[in-house]
Structure 1
Amino acid sequence: MAHVAEWKKEEVKDLKELINGYEVVGIANLSDIPARQLQKMRQNLRDKATIRMSKKTLISLALDDSNNKKDNINILSNHMDGQPALIFTDMNPFKLFKILEDSKTAAPAKAGAVPSEDIVVPKGDTGFPPGPILGELQQIGIPAKIDKGKIVVQKDQVVVKAGEEVSAKVAGILTRLDIQPMEVGIDLKAAYENETVYTADLLTIDEEQTLSDIQRAFAQAFNLSVNAVIFTKESMPAIIQNAATKSLNLAFNASVLTSKTTEMLLSKAYSQMLAVAAEASGKDSDAVDEELLEKLASTATSAPEAEEKKEEKPDEEEEEEEQEEDAAAGLGALFG
């Protein structure tokens, strides 16, 4: 039986204690992170999470031995890339992922690095005077020329495509141009919580899109609850307003006298009376008494005056009326 070094046993024991002592366990890749930046990231996470680097075999052993207490946690072994490290925290995996992503910083491209996106040298003045660098730029495919005593890139140029390795020549030129196309930071590959492993693609959330989706879902749920008369704290005012409007319309159209409809119905009856009187007087002037004729005459006189006042109304008042009509139309569409 092969001898196992004592320090390895202690390391696996320590890792198991950490795994079982936290709600969330993440597996991360710490490759290509300068020691100074890694130290700073550790300090920033000191009160939020604990990072523990170790050998892949020891991490796998600790995860396998912890699987009896935390089902499926050994799946994290499938996501070990580069220089693996375990991250222990009690915050939810999505918040952990966001904090780690926000802490990433721009970095120069090193020879052999593989970018996740195209590396582009932008069009414009490089700031360099004429010299050997012009030929170096042209050698790696960058369209450059001398213009007004400066070396100028004529158009945006992709020098490394996503997924391809950065050559030593390209890395050197990018550094001289002060282009930092890479990101340095803790790359969270997966996180475990409550028997579920969340991979990085699931942890990546578009906050603006998510907020927009929630707002749209709320509006749809609100409309549904109003139209289906489902009482909630949010829908009750709209349902009551809708019911009040419909009951008022019903009472008015059915000529039911209430404190709110009486004045409206009297006004309607008066208008109908004048209309009948006007039609009758047109056929036979003796069919309408003098009192009604006077009322018809005063109505005919006041109508042009009202029309004239309406035409003279300032533009601001007309705009307010249009806004009120638009608002009423919007409410009508919302409440049926």
Structure 2
Amino acid sequence: MARSKRNKIVSLTKTDAKGKDLKKKLVEVLRSAVDEYKGLYVLNFENMRAAKFREIRMDWKESKIFMGKNSIAQIALGRNPEEEYKDNLRHISKKLEGSVGLLFTNRKKDEVLKYFKNYAAADFAKAGAIPTEEIVLQPGVLDFPVTMLDTLRKLGMVVEVDDGTVVLRSPITISSVGVPLTPEQAKILVKLDTRTIDFKVKVEASWENGKFKEY
């Protein structure tokens, strides 16, 4: 007879009563989602953007997306054959590291894979981002307010005000491949309306009816 994997007693580590109750509730919510939805997917987020993430939630509003507290999710799903809530969920737990989330859905697997394979949203790079292209501004009129002169000069830009407009007098490299962006550079790229990164979501693995698959 197959052993039951429900109602497992799991350790939530030492914590105060309130924190322990919250963790226990989260475990119950995740296990309830496993029972409610036929498919479970591990999503890996690259260049996470909150606004874009909200758009994805709206596209999948009949499903459930969980992100955060990877360690609690691992407890809920189980980390080994003895703990796992259902067969092979331990393999999903092993994928829960870094900027990842769980998608619980009743949509067909082909639809899930196609959606995220084709999903990409361009956005502005933040300070500290590593550029993959070189951006050079050539001399000429810049579409910046005069109030930004100090910021532009901090970047080493030779700028002047000519008849109420900002004019660049010599070429300047705004971003270099492999060199982290400074806060000033990131601000300039926004003003230039130059989106240099893509928010992407990759399906790392799936689980359905006890079957685990890695992508």
Cα distance in 2 for partners of 1:126, 1:59 equals 54
Q: Which residue is 2:3 aligned to? A: none
Q: Which residue is 1:327 aligned to? A: none
State the Cα deviation string for residues 16-44 of structure 1 (Å, max 9, x = none).
1212433332223557422x433332111
Q: How does 1:234-313 map to 2 (within 5 A)?
A: none
Greater fraction helix:
1
Cα distance in 2 for partners of 1:138, 1:90 equals 54
Counterpart of 1:192, as a letter, is S
1:12 aligns with 2:27: yes
1:37 aligns with 2:52: yes
Q: Which residue is 2:190 aligned to? A: 175
Q: Normalising by structure 2, report the TM-score.
A: 0.64
| SS of structure 2 residue aligned to 1:111 | coil
1:76 aligns with 2:95: no
Identity of aligned pairs, percent?
A: 18
CA contact (8 A) 2:124 2:196 kept: yes
Cα distance in 2 for partners of 1:114, 1:91 equals 36
Q: CA deviation at 1:190?
A: 1.2
Residues 1:80 and 1:126: Cα distance change in structure 2 (over 3 Å): farther
Q: How does 1:215-230 map to 2 (within 5 A)?
A: none
Q: Aligned to 1:53, which of 61, 67, 74?
A: 67
Cα distance in 1 for partners of 2:192, 2:25 equals 48
Residues 1:122 and 1:84: Cα distance change in structure 2 (over 3 Å): same
Greater fraction strand:
2
| SS of structure 2 residue aligned to 1:98 | helix
Cα distance in 2 for partners of 1:110, 1:75 equals 34
Cα distance in 1 for partners of 2:193, 2:170 equals 14
Cα distance in 2 for partners of 1:61, 1:80 equals 11
Cα distance in 2 for partners of 1:114, 1:80 equals 25
Q: How does 1:189-208 map to 2 (within 5 A)?
A: 189-194=203-208, 195-199=211-215
CA contact (8 A) 2:76 2:85 kept: no
Residues 1:192 and 1:166: Cα distance change in structure 2 (over 3 Å): same
- Flag the structure with larger Rg: 1
Q: Normalising by structure 1, report the TM-score.
A: 0.44
| SS of structure 2 residue aligned to 1:191 | strand
Q: Which residue is 2:120 aligned to? A: 104
Q: Aligned to 1:88, which of 76, 79, 104?
A: 104
Q: CA deviation at 1:58?
A: 0.8
Counterpart of 1:77, as a letter, is S
Cα distance in 2 for partners of 1:86, 1:137 equals 41
1:188 aligns with 2:202: yes
Cα distance in 2 for partners of 1:16, 1:45 equals 19
Residues 1:160 and 1:89: Cα distance change in structure 2 (over 3 Å): farther
> Mind listing any 5+ residue stretches in structure 1 that lack a counterpart?
200-336
Question: Higher relative contact order at CA 8 Å, sep ≥6: structure 1 or structure 2?
Answer: 2
> Mind listing any 5+ residue stretches in structure 2 that lack a counterpart?
1-12, 160-165
CA contact (8 A) 1:108 1:179 kept: yes
| SS of structure 2 residue aligned to 1:79 | coil
Residues 1:151 and 1:88: Cα distance change in structure 2 (over 3 Å): same
